[in-house]
Structure 1
Amino acid sequence: MVTAHPVLLDPTPAPETPSQRQMLVILDFGSQYSELIARRIRELQVYSEVLSYRTTIEELRRLNPRGIILSGGPNSVYDPGAPHCDPGLWTLGVPVLGVCYGMQLMAQQLAGTVESGTAGEYGRASLYIDDTSDLLSGVNQGATMWMSHADSVCVVPKGFVTLAHTSNTACAAMADHQRKLYGVQFHPEVMHSEGGMALLFNFVRNICQCQPTWTAESFIEESIADIRKQVGSKRVLLALSGGVDSSTLAFLLHRAIGDNLTCMFIDQGFMRKEEPERLVKLFSEQFHIPVEYIQATDRFLEQIAGVSDPEVKRKRIGHEFIQVFEEESNRLGPFDYLAQGTLYPDIIESSGENIDPKTGERVAVRIKSHHNVGGLPKNLRFKLVEPLRRLFKDEVRKVGRVLGLPLEIVNRHPFPGPGLAIRILGAVDREKLDIVREADMVVRQEINASGLYNSIWQAFAVLLPVRSVGVMGDQRTYSYPVVLRLVTSEDGMTADWARVPYDLLERIATRIVNEVKGVNRVVYDITSKPPGTIEWE
């Protein structure tokens, strides 16, 4: 029985607000790497936020950042309508680092010269350092940096000096040491840039003088205070999936509001083999967090019967998910809040925001709607609690470890909200679910046995809506192919196919064909993200 009465909790000192906290602001000019910059800053244990390039000087003053980073972008600074920041930025008196487009914009607005080069520079380039002070301290001479530009700074603004060059770019880095304004033509945030983290460390910790205060412990303390402030004595309903996101959120909410949290596991029939039973037992018996188990497989299958379009699938599943929540909350409630484990990459991909290279305006370019943010109906009567919405996956794992989650959950591979329904291309039925569920079990067992589970971001099977001819036991077969998708990644925003041993792939393929009825062929997906996505739908 879940009590509706608030529990007594030890008072927690109110944490610093974002305006008081040591932080950096990244102004986004449309770069695909803007959020990666934020992630790198957080790796240095300094809080960072990504804001629009339109952010006003008044808002920046309110936030009181220790430093500002201008992202790259697809535009040329001299194009009509190219995105520009408020020129008052240069008089704020805080260190500024311009990256790629950000460097060119800095040069242009401070009366330097930016021109289209005779040859663009893309990919790896050797950096030759002319000034080793402050920003480039500790970066090796000739270090490889990742370039992506056609324009270059030809004349640096007054007060600036050139810090480095490449064989194709005379000014690959510049600085006004007195005003602490810096620009780099390369992308220090990407893993291909050697010494990129050393450069960011120099800027964040030395030049901006930020202390390493952004930790899992500080996030937990701040989040608990925010949750209590938002929720008060009201009750919260959480959809528990058993993944690291929802499990971390369950532990965090339980610590903040105790028995005012009700965890509900809705078995929509799209989970992996044996997971529903394991989840309920683990939380109820080991963690003593009661879970309401709802069996709703028939309802979800009915909603997506005959549906092939992946966006329609996701939205129907999301809609039915909320319908079940509302019905069950009437039985168990009342509830005022719905908790979701929405993460930063979910917000990024689902918002579809980008900058039109011709007008500089924000435009919607939807990639795919995530279950947490794309399927909510307009008449949703719950208020949302989303404490993890500004965290990357690796940060969630750190928070989970501090909260005491077992490693089997903390290290669990990401699993989409719609589950196996989007790992079956085309229409979904029980037969196909059984096939992909059994194939997925084989993949997980073999990856675990090989000792590679923790070095792979995701490993799963995809069922294609086609059949091919095969031969088994001297008889002709006409069955489905299964695609193996094994990828490596740091945060899910970009990914590469995993170079696993051939004998591992052979064992997986052999077992699937031998053990999974309805499959006679196994293929391996070697597409990176981009251009592909990790999931097939």
Structure 2
Amino acid sequence: MSGPHASSDHLVTDSTAATEFVEESAVDVEAPSAVDEVVVLDFGGQYSQLIARRVRECGVYSELLPHHVGVEEVRRRKPKGLILSGGPASVYAEGAPRLDPELLELGIPVLGICYGMQLIARELGGRVEGAEVGEFGRSDLTVLEPGRLLAGTPAEQTCWMSHRDTVFSAPPGFTALASSTASPVAAIESQERDIYGIQFHPEVVHTPYGQHVLTTFLEDICGLDRSWSAASIVEEQIERIRAQVGDGRVICGLSGGVDSSVAALLVHRAVGDQLTCVFVDHGLMRKNEGEQVISAFRDHFKVPLVAVDAEERFLAKLKGVTEPEAKRKVIGAEFIRVFEEEAAKLSGAKFLVQGTLYSDVIESGGGTGAATIKSHHNVGGLPEDLEFELVEPLRALFKDEVRAVGAELGLPERLVWRQPFPGPGLAIRVVGGEATKERLDVLRDADAILQDEIRQAGLYRELWQSFCVLPDVRTVGVQGDERTYGYVVVIRAVTSDDAMTADWARLPYDLLEQIASRMINELREVNRVVLDITSKPPGTIEWE
């Protein structure tokens, strides 16, 4: 099979077709000084950032770069290892990302994953063809010869596959290490050339021995020490912030979430009162969050803070807007307009701090050849006439690393472990309709009940996210012997390690009953409560 749908890593099946993205989308951050580095080249796979994250979990610094950066850029970084990611293309498709053969001659170990392995096999004389059937999801893997890469793993195991093209024969001089349900050659290696490949995805949690394979590559093959930690980024980022900002004035859009809070504290640690945080109450936050944010930063952290009441302004901009991408872009653009107005009052602040993370970038089309899932307001939603220079100290970090940095900075545990909350707020949880004040208030009250019960049950830290969704749907009910026509509230709760994949949380039935009972009894506008049991993929965590 050939063409754009002959995917070797087709992890997003409901997205639009290929989109062009800026080169900066694959995060480029210089490695911390005196730290060994592994470079991950991104060939467009939606899981590419997970590879870098798993490497970091092994105590080795890693960086994700676009596949086309060039061999000289990779050589300049002097990495101790190179990993080629998966990707959505077929190695035979016109315009598909190619492998520069010089990357295999750098004198460092190379590991190809999925599309990366197929590129290696094709370049070095193996046979890669479209299979009769694709291989997606869990698959049985048989280890024929463990070699160096699969040493210490069982002969029979499961793994996670996502491909249509398949390696049918290994390149000359390579050993075929394993096969799977639909892949005659599922792993290869040449110890003489220090080149390795696996068809499965070791970076996802559904591959039980995936982390073991990565650790083997990093420690036993690359000879790396596990000496890097997320906390070590604090001093490095403080130096970078000072170098970028100098004596300039800085403004930070503070939402109160862990990302913007950690970004604000990092910048405040670096430049002190050159920073002014701007908290915009857009009327789209959860119940009482505005007061909590203002109190924490003004009273506890002593960070200069301007609070802006902009609820009416945002709701006016959102009037009549129902499409989710349009909501995100409207909110993102209006945020910037507010920042610009406040910056003008602050003697010309020209730097804007954002708590942008890796996942924000990748889901907004953050890898050359990757698909856009949704535009995050701080990435895809920024206006073209942005007047600020961005300061994004967390752009190369994953959520768990941000939490570690937050703890290092002294952020209270309740804020460090606050569940993710979308920048556009509750507007994108009013689904299929306009985010009116009435609907937002209903959703806010329902969500407050959910959060209260989840915390009382001791489950808050166990869940990646738990929240309510308010669809633009009303249903017939009976309350007090009278017919009602009320809103439906959807409960969404998921478990995840990284937000790239997620499973719906199996909340106890008695807890669900208590939540539903409170919502229906306490909220006159609600007469039905339902539970979302969709995992990611195929769904996303948020509904919009």
TM, length-normalised to structure 2: 0.90
Relative contact order (alpha carbons < 8 A, sep ≥ 6): 1 or 2 greater? 2
Q: What is the CA-CA distance between 1:430 and the residue it aligns to?
A: 1.7
Q: What is the CA-CA distance between 1:158 and the residue it aligns to?
A: 2.6
Matches within 5 A, 1:22-421: 22-117=36-131, 120-166=134-180, 168-351=182-365, 355=369, 365-421=371-427
In the alignment, is the contact (CA less than 8 A) between 2:169 and 2:184 conserved in 1?
A: no
Return the alpha-carbon distance in structure 1 between the equivalents of residues 124 and 295 of structure 2.
Answer: 63
Return the alpha-carbon distance in structure 2 between the equivalents of residues 70 and 212 of structure 1.
Answer: 21
Closer/same/farther in 2, CA of residues 333 and 57 from structure 1, 3 Å limit: same
Return the alpha-carbon distance in structure 2 between the equivalents of residues 125 and 533 of structure 1.
Answer: 23
Return the alpha-carbon distance in structure 2 between the equivalents of residues 170 and 378 of structure 1.
Answer: 49
Return the alpha-carbon distance in structure 2 between the equivalents of residues 230 and 167 of structure 1.
Answer: 52
Return the alpha-carbon distance in structure 2 between the equivalents of residues 103 and 271 of structure 1.
Answer: 45
Amino acid of the structure 1 residue aligned with 2:388: F
Residues 373-405 of structure 1, C-alpha deviations (whole Å, 9 max, x = no match)? 233222222111001011111111111111111
Return the alpha-carbon distance in structure 1 between the equivalents of residues 329 and 138 of structure 2.
Answer: 41
In the alignment, is the contact (CA less than 8 A) between 2:231 and 2:404 conserved in 1?
A: no
1:3 — aligned with what?
Answer: none
Amino acid of the structure 2 residue aligned with 1:179: R
1:450 — aligned with what?
Answer: 457
Amino acid of the structure 2 residue aligned with 1:98: G
User: Is 1:424 aligned to residue 438 of structure 2?
Assistant: no
Determine helix, strand or coil for the equivalent of 2:536: coil
Return the alpha-carbon distance in structure 1 between the equivalents of residues 31 and 182 of structure 2.
Answer: 45
Residues 352-375 of structure 1, C-alpha deviations (whole Å, 9 max, x = no match)? 6564xxxxxx7xx43322121233
Return the alpha-carbon distance in structure 2 between the equivalents of residues 77 and 192 of structure 1.
Answer: 25
In the alignment, is the contact (CA less than 8 A) between 2:230 and 2:401 conserved in 1?
A: yes
Unmatched 5+ residue regions in structure 2? 1-28
Residues 222-281 of structure 1, C-alpha deviations (whole Å, 9 max, x = no match)? 100100000011111111111100111121111111111111211111111111111111
Closer/same/farther in 2, CA of residues 163 and 442 from structure 1, 3 Å limit: same
1:6 — aligned with what?
Answer: none
In the alignment, is the contact (CA less than 8 A) between 1:19 and 1:62 conserved in 2?
A: no
Q: What is the CA-CA distance between 1:202 and the residue it aligns to?
A: 0.6
**Residue from 444, 450, 453 that aligns with 1:437:** 444
In the alignment, is the contact (CA less than 8 A) between 2:42 and 2:367 conserved in 1?
A: no
2:7 — aligned with what?
Answer: none
Return the alpha-carbon distance in structure 1 between the equivalents of residues 79 and 216 of structure 2.
Answer: 16
In the alignment, is the contact (CA less than 8 A) between 1:487 and 1:495 conserved in 2?
A: yes
Amino acid of the structure 1 residue aligned with 2:425: G
Determine helix, strand or coil for the equivalent of 1:434: helix
Q: What is the CA-CA distance between 1:141 and the residue it aligns to?
A: 2.4
Q: What is the CA-CA distance between 1:181 and the residue it aligns to?
A: 0.7
Q: What is the CA-CA distance between 1:495 and the residue it aligns to?
A: 1.7
Q: What is the CA-CA distance between 1:167 and the residue it aligns to?
A: 5.5
Closer/same/farther in 2, CA of residues 396 and 21 from structure 1, 3 Å limit: same
In the alignment, is the contact (CA less than 8 A) between 2:318 and 2:435 conserved in 1?
A: yes
Q: What is the CA-CA distance between 1:119 and the residue it aligns to?
A: 5.2
In the alignment, is the contact (CA less than 8 A) between 1:20 and 1:63 conserved in 2?
A: no
Task: Please give the root-mean-square deviation of Cα atoms over the aligned residues, in Å.
Answer: 2.0
Which shows bigger deviation, 245-254 or 125-134?
125-134
In the alignment, is the contact (CA less than 8 A) between 2:260 and 2:355 conserved in 1?
A: yes
Amino acid of the structure 1 residue aligned with 2:257: G
Q: What is the CA-CA distance between 1:18 and the residue it aligns to?
A: 5.9
Closer/same/farther in 2, CA of residues 379 and 104 from structure 1, 3 Å limit: closer
In the alignment, is the contact (CA less than 8 A) between 1:121 and 1:148 conserved in 2?
A: yes
Amino acid of the structure 1 residue aligned with 2:90: S
Amino acid of the structure 2 residue aligned with 1:413: Q
User: Is 1:506 aligned to residue 501 of structure 2?
Assistant: no
TM, length-normalised to structure 1: 0.91
Determine helix, strand or coil for the equivalent of 2:173: coil
Determine helix, strand or coil for the equivalent of 2:345: helix
**Residue from 455, 473, 498 that aligns with 1:491:** 498
In the alignment, is the contact (CA less than 8 A) between 2:125 and 2:171 conserved in 1?
A: yes
Return the alpha-carbon distance in structure 2 between the equivalents of residues 374 and 504 of structure 1.
Answer: 38
Q: What is the CA-CA distance between 1:78 and the residue it aligns to?
A: 3.6
Determine helix, strand or coil for the equivalent of 2:378: helix
Return the alpha-carbon distance in structure 1 between the equivalents of residues 437 and 134 of structure 2.
Answer: 53
Q: What is the CA-CA distance between 1:137 and the residue it aligns to?
A: 2.1
Determine helix, strand or coil for the equivalent of 1:370: coil
Unmatched 5+ residue regions in structure 1? 1-14, 356-361
Return the alpha-carbon distance in structure 1 between the equivalents of residues 488 and 248 of structure 2.
Answer: 50
Residues 111-132 of structure 1, C-alpha deviations (whole Å, 9 max, x = no match)? 2222344554443333333333
Amino acid of the structure 1 residue aligned with 2:77: L
Return the alpha-carbon distance in structure 1 between the equivalents of residues 146 and 538 of structure 2.
Answer: 37
1:5 — aligned with what?
Answer: none
1:359 — aligned with what?
Answer: none
**Residue from 474, 477, 487 that aligns with 1:467:** 474
Closer/same/farther in 2, CA of residues 121 and 239 from structure 1, 3 Å limit: closer
Which shows bigger deviation, 130-139 or 391-400?
130-139
In the alignment, is the contact (CA less than 8 A) between 2:47 and 2:500 conserved in 1?
A: no
Q: What is the CA-CA distance between 1:436 and the residue it aligns to?
A: 0.7
Which shows bigger deviation, 451-460 or 416-425?
416-425
Which shows bigger deviation, 301-310 or 116-125?
116-125
User: Is 1:476 aligned to residue 500 of structure 2?
Assistant: no
Return the alpha-carbon distance in structure 1 between the equivalents of residues 254 and 134 of structure 2.
Answer: 49
Q: What is the CA-CA distance between 1:207 and the residue it aligns to?
A: 1.1
